[in-house]
Structure 1
Amino acid sequence: MLVFLIHIRDPQFYAVPADGRAKNGNLRIMGFPPIGIMSLSAVLKRAGHECVMFDQANLETPNQVIIEQIRIRRPQLVGLSFLSTTSYPYAKILARQIRAVDSKVKVAVGGAFATLNAQLVKMQCSEVDFVCRGDGEQLILDLLEQLDNPAAVAGLTWTRDGQVVTNPDRAIERNLDQWPFPDRESLALDFIESMPLDVPAVLSMDRFTTMQASRGCPQHCVFCDIPSFNQGKWRSRSHQHVLAEFKHLKEQGYGAVYFVDDHFLLQPKRIEAICNGLIDSGPTIHWGCEGRVDSVAAHLYPLMAKANCRTVMFGIESGSQKVLDRIEKDQTLKEVETAVTNAKRAGIEIVHGFFVVGSPGETVADLRATFDFAARLPLDTFNFNRLCVYRGTPLWNEYIRRNLVDEDRDWFKFFKCSEIDSSCLPGEVINRERSAGFRRIFRYKLLHYPLQTIRLLRRFTRFMPIRDVVHLILKPFLGQRSGPTAAETLSRTVEHAELKDSAAALTQVSDAMFERALAELQAARALVRPGS
């Protein structure tokens, strides 16, 4: 059968075209590859099906091109893959466009948001035939075998005789080694590794991709839906299978890999085996990962550095123990300090810290303590995002009990906590303190970590104009009068706090208004499409 797989992205966070094309002719962009549809494509092709992939980050295949290909080629199944609440409106609009051009094609959606809201999605979006819950590899194979009568397909939500049917859950698959490596070569895009900063800070121009060595996280932070999606389970591939994929990627010319595991730093013996295998194989790909500061694998940082681990990202969240306890992070400030310090001492080139601001119960003193804590840590990079709440998280359930959100009316929406929770600081206070906090961090880093800062900036100057690097240093001290640089303007599609804030509002407008705005955005994007 012919299957189309489409990766839905929020246009605010589209990857940015990066310095022309790769040697193979592919458009090069910054951002993360759509590993979900790439994995499904490999599974489908191994089973003998034909698969065509599209990524909405590709300016050369806008929606109208995708729709026209569906009209011409008439696939039996079109799968829409997306992760978040903010991508759901775009998936709904595309599903309607697909249905308008082909009334017979089956349309399926999958991903974390669809899994956690399957019945509600099916009820709201009639153009979607199937909502796929959980892991998709075996599910999509079973669905193609029983496309006209999917009653026996576990993990599927669909409609029969006008009634929504929820088939039994699919058993959690622990044997992840059975699946082929993702189909990275069939998508006409090359990806470039960049940092999650407020500028498009490229780490290298090497061919970049992502890898998933495990799924799930056993922790239960109040703002995270990962435990719900994975039923609280953590599963991993064997170190042999991971090493085989590294070899495969090296043969394909990749130079940088980032693990998208929710918590890579589990099972020390497995991590040790991966690192030793990479060292034994000789010069290998640079790689990065993220994990918790209380990881039992912290003693392996030196080995990871020796195995070409360049980047480690920690979810630090706050510099106030009171706030950490409130969001049930289950870590201490001492553990944060120890993890960051040890990672740097081990030779990890870039240690990044994720922080949230605007948590329930957070005071101005807590917020200032967070920025001061971040300044003192030997972090190379960092970002501070407003805490938001969405369905599937423990915080959402708390807000239901407190009558701050309505389960029936708000299930598909995305709220900044500070807008609906009176125990949070007002938004204007958060923004003011965040601006002041950035100035203190930059000042402290330049005075107390000059060599570390110079090394990082030197890396950035390899791929950014020097004037933008200088502006990066001076911007916090210049106020609003200076305006953004060209690089900062582009970076808003990569990582920008203001756009992340506004993403919440986009989930709360009517579909008609949203569709009009999207049409205007697509028209504007067409003006900058390569070759136009």
Structure 2
Amino acid sequence: MLVFLIHVRDPQFYAVPADGRAENGNLRIMGFPPIGIMSLSAVLKRAGHECVMFDQANSETPNQVIVEQIRTRRPDLVGLSFLSTTSYPYAKILARQIRAVDSKVRVAIGGVFATLNAPLVKLQCSEVDFVCRGDGEQLILDLVDQLDNPAAVAGLTWARDGQVVNNPDRAVERDLDQWPFPDRESLALDFIESMPLDVPTVLSMDRFTTMQTSRGCPWPCVFCDIPVFNQSKWRSRSPEHVLAEFNHLKEHGYGAVYFVDDHFLLQPKRIEAICKGLIESGPTIHWGCEGRVDSVAQHLFPAMAKANCRTLMFGIESGSQKILDRLKKEQTLKEVETAVTNAKRAGIEIVHGFFTVGNPDETVADLRATFDFAARLPLDTFNFNRLCVYRGTPLWQEYVRRNLVDEARDWFKYFKCSEIDPTCLPGEVINRERSAGFRRIFRYKLLHYPLQTVRLLRRFTRFMPMRDVVYLILKPFFGKPRGPTAAETLSRAVEHAELKDSAAALTQVSDAMFEQAIAESQAQRALIQPGS
């Protein structure tokens, strides 16, 4: 069978084009490759099926090109894959465009959001034939074998005689070694490694990819839907399988890889075996990962550094123990300090901290404590994002009980907590304190960590224009610019995502308004391009 797989991206997460092309002629972009569809493509091809992949990060294959390919090639199945709530409106629009050119092609949709909202998605988006729940590897194999009789496909939501049918859940697959390595070479894109900062921050021009060595996280953080999606289970690949994929990546010229595991630092013996194998094979690929600060594997940080671990990211969230407890992080400020310090002492080049602001019950004092705490930590990089609430998380359920969100009306939306929770600080206060906090952090880092700061900036200037590096440093000291109009905000968020805070608003507008905004923005770009 012929299967098309499309990775649907929210434009605020679109990869930013890098200069030029790779030696193989591929377009080079900054961002994370679509490991989900790459994994499914490898599984399908091993089973003898033909598979074609598209990534919406590729400017050379916009929706029009993808839809035209579907019209001319008539695939048996089109799979739309996406992760977040903010990508759902784009998936709906694409499904309608596909259905308009081919009334018979089967359309499936999958990912975390689709899994957690399967019956509702099927009811709202009739153009989608199948909603796939949970892991997709065996599910898609079963589906292509039983397209005309999907009743026996576990983990599938579909419709029969106008009624939504939820097939039984698929058993959680623990043997992850059975699946082939992702089909990276069939997508005409090359990715380069970058950091999630306010301006595109390139770490190297090496060929970059991602790898998943484990799935799931059992901790109960209130803002996270990962435990629900993975049924609070953690599953891992064997060290031997991971090392074999590293050798595979070396053979294909990759120089950097990031583990997209929800929590890599969970099983010390497994980490030790992976590091041992990388060291013995003479590691040439730089890699990065993320994990919790309370990991019992911190004694292995030196081995990780020796095995070429360059980047380690921690979900720190807050510098207030009260807020950490409110978010059910089950970690302490002392554990944060210990983990970050141990990582830097071990020789990890870049240690990054994720923080949230605008948390429930957070005061100005809590917010200031967070920025002061971040300043004191020997972190290399950091970002502070507004906390948002999504359906499927414990915080969403709390907000339903408190009548802050309506389960029936709001299930496909997401909200900044500060916009709906009266226990949160107002948005203008959060923005003011965040700007002031950034200024304090930069001053503190320059005074107390000058060598660390200089080394980091030297790395940035290898691959970034100096103006971007200067902007990254000086941005917190700029005055507040004049804001765009409401129409500009919507247009930019749809096409360019210049304002990340607009993403939440986009999930809350009607489909008709959403499609009109896309059309108007595209028309404006078409007028501008000829003279550019």
Place the TM-score, normalised by the shorter chain, in its bin: over 0.9
Structure 1 residues 482 and 200: alpha-carbon distance in aligned structure 2, compared to 1, 3 A threshold: farther
Q: How far 1:469 moved relative to its partner?
A: 1.7
Within 2, Cα distance between the matches of 1:369 and 1:48? 57
Within 2, Cα distance between the matches of 1:354 and 1:24? 35
Aligned to 1:5: 5
Q: How far 1:476 moved relative to its partner?
A: 1.9
Deviations 1:172-221 (CA, angstroms, capped at 9, x unpaired) = 00000000000000000000100011011100000000000000001010
Aligned to 1:196: 196
Structure 1 residues 523 and 26: alpha-carbon distance in aligned structure 2, compared to 1, 3 A threshold: farther
Structure 1 residues 273 and 26: alpha-carbon distance in aligned structure 2, compared to 1, 3 A threshold: same
Aligned to 1:214: 214
SS in 1 for 2:264: coil
Within 2, Cα distance between the matches of 1:135 and 1:46? 17
Within 2, Cα distance between the matches of 1:392 and 1:259? 24
- The alignment status of 1:85 with 2:85, answered yes or no, reads yes
Check conservation: 2:27, 2:190, Cα contact below 8 A: yes
Alignment of 1:343-382 (within 5 A): 343-382=343-382
Q: How far 1:525 moved relative to its partner?
A: 6.0
Aligned to 1:425: 425
Aligned to 1:478: 478
Within 2, Cα distance between the matches of 1:415 and 1:475? 26
Check conservation: 2:11, 2:497, Cα contact below 8 A: no
Aligned to 2:341: 341
Q: How far 1:57 moved relative to its partner?
A: 0.4
Deviations 1:440-491 (CA, angstroms, capped at 9, x unpaired) = 00010001000000000000101112233223222322323699xxxxxxxx
Whichever residue aligns with residue 132 of structure 1, its letter is: C
Q: How far 1:13 moved relative to its partner?
A: 2.0
Within 1, Cα distance between the matches of 2:237 and 2:38? 17
- The alignment status of 1:108 with 2:108, answered yes or no, reads yes
Aligned to 1:488: none
Q: How far 1:12 moved relative to its partner?
A: 2.2
Within 1, Cα distance between the matches of 2:73 and 2:113? 29
Within 2, Cα distance between the matches of 1:124 and 1:240? 44
Aligned to 1:504: 504
SS in 2 for 1:462: helix
Check conservation: 2:12, 2:497, Cα contact below 8 A: no
Structure 1 residues 529 and 266: alpha-carbon distance in aligned structure 2, compared to 1, 3 A threshold: farther
SS in 1 for 2:265: coil
Within 2, Cα distance between the matches of 1:523 and 1:181? 41
Within 1, Cα distance between the matches of 2:388 and 2:91? 21
Q: How far 1:264 moved relative to its partner?
A: 0.4
Aligned to 2:486: none
Deviations 1:390-442 (CA, angstroms, capped at 9, x unpaired) = 10000000000000000000000000001100000000100000000000000
Q: How far 1:296 moved relative to its partner?
A: 1.0
Check conservation: 1:60, 1:529, Cα contact below 8 A: no
Overall identity of the aligned pairs, in %: 88
- The alignment status of 1:205 with 2:179, answered yes or no, reads no
Whichever residue aligns with residue 104 of structure 1, its letter is: K
Within 2, Cα distance between the matches of 1:66 and 1:10? 17
Within 2, Cα distance between the matches of 1:319 and 1:3? 48
SS in 2 for 1:67: helix
Aligned to 2:487: none
Within 2, Cα distance between the matches of 1:526 and 1:102? 27
Within 1, Cα distance between the matches of 2:279 and 2:137? 31
Aligned to 1:57: 57
- The alignment status of 1:227 with 2:227, answered yes or no, reads yes
Aligned to 2:315: 315
Check conservation: 2:12, 2:498, Cα contact below 8 A: no
Within 2, Cα distance between the matches of 1:447 and 1:482? 32
Structure 1 residues 397 and 272: alpha-carbon distance in aligned structure 2, compared to 1, 3 A threshold: same
TM-score by length of 1: 0.96
Check conservation: 1:132, 1:157, Cα contact below 8 A: yes
Aligned to 1:489: none
Within 1, Cα distance between the matches of 2:459 and 2:62? 33
Q: How far 1:55 moved relative to its partner?
A: 0.3
Deviations 1:84-116 (CA, angstroms, capped at 9, x unpaired) = 100000000000000000000000000000000
Alignment of 1:119-518 (within 5 A): 119-480=119-480, 499-518=499-518
Aligned to 2:35: 35
Within 2, Cα distance between the matches of 1:354 and 1:498? 21
- Which protein has greater RCO, CA pairs closer than 8 Å, 6+ apart? 1
Check conservation: 1:386, 1:497, Cα contact below 8 A: no
Within 2, Cα distance between the matches of 1:519 and 1:7? 21
Whichever residue aligns with residue 103 of structure 2, its letter is: S
Check conservation: 1:385, 1:497, Cα contact below 8 A: no
Single out whichever of 517-526 and 174-183 deviates more from structure 2.
Answer: 517-526
Within 1, Cα distance between the matches of 2:283 and 2:216? 30
Whichever residue aligns with residue 95 of structure 1, its letter is: A
Q: How far 1:25 moved relative to its partner?
A: 0.3
Within 1, Cα distance between the matches of 2:497 and 2:370? 17
SS in 2 for 1:316: strand
Check conservation: 1:177, 1:241, Cα contact below 8 A: yes
Structure 1, unmatched stretches of 5+, are 484-491
Check conservation: 1:384, 1:497, Cα contact below 8 A: no
Within 2, Cα distance between the matches of 1:46 and 1:17? 32
Q: How far 1:81 moved relative to its partner?
A: 0.1
Within 2, Cα distance between the matches of 1:57 and 1:382? 25
Whichever residue aligns with residue 138 of structure 1, its letter is: Q
Q: How far 1:524 moved relative to its partner?
A: 5.4
SS in 2 for 1:293: coil
SS in 1 for 2:422: coil
SS in 2 for 1:203: strand
Within 2, Cα distance between the matches of 1:114 and 1:467? 41
Structure 1 residues 129 and 481: alpha-carbon distance in aligned structure 2, compared to 1, 3 A threshold: closer
Deviations 1:364-401 (CA, angstroms, capped at 9, x unpaired) = 00000000000000000000000000100000000000
Within 1, Cα distance between the matches of 2:98 and 2:497? 33
Within 2, Cα distance between the matches of 1:66 and 1:425? 44
Structure 2, unmatched stretches of 5+, are 484-491
Q: How far 1:497 moved relative to its partner?
A: 10
SS in 2 for 1:205: strand
Within 2, Cα distance between the matches of 1:75 and 1:482? 48
Q: How far 1:233 moved relative to its partner?
A: 0.5
SS in 2 for 1:389: strand
Deviations 1:3-50 (CA, angstroms, capped at 9, x unpaired) = 000000011221111011000000000000000000000000000000
Deviations 1:107-149 (CA, angstroms, capped at 9, x unpaired) = 0000000000000000000000000000000000000111011
SS in 1 for 2:170: coil
Structure 1 residues 437 and 406: alpha-carbon distance in aligned structure 2, compared to 1, 3 A threshold: same
Deviations 1:287-334 (CA, angstroms, capped at 9, x unpaired) = 000000000111100000000000000000000000000010000000
Aligned to 1:75: 75
Within 2, Cα distance between the matches of 1:283 and 1:276? 10
Within 1, Cα distance between the matches of 2:498 and 2:377? 25
Structure 1 residues 407 and 209: alpha-carbon distance in aligned structure 2, compared to 1, 3 A threshold: same
Within 1, Cα distance between the matches of 2:310 and 2:527? 37
Whichever residue aligns with residue 44 of structure 1, its letter is: L
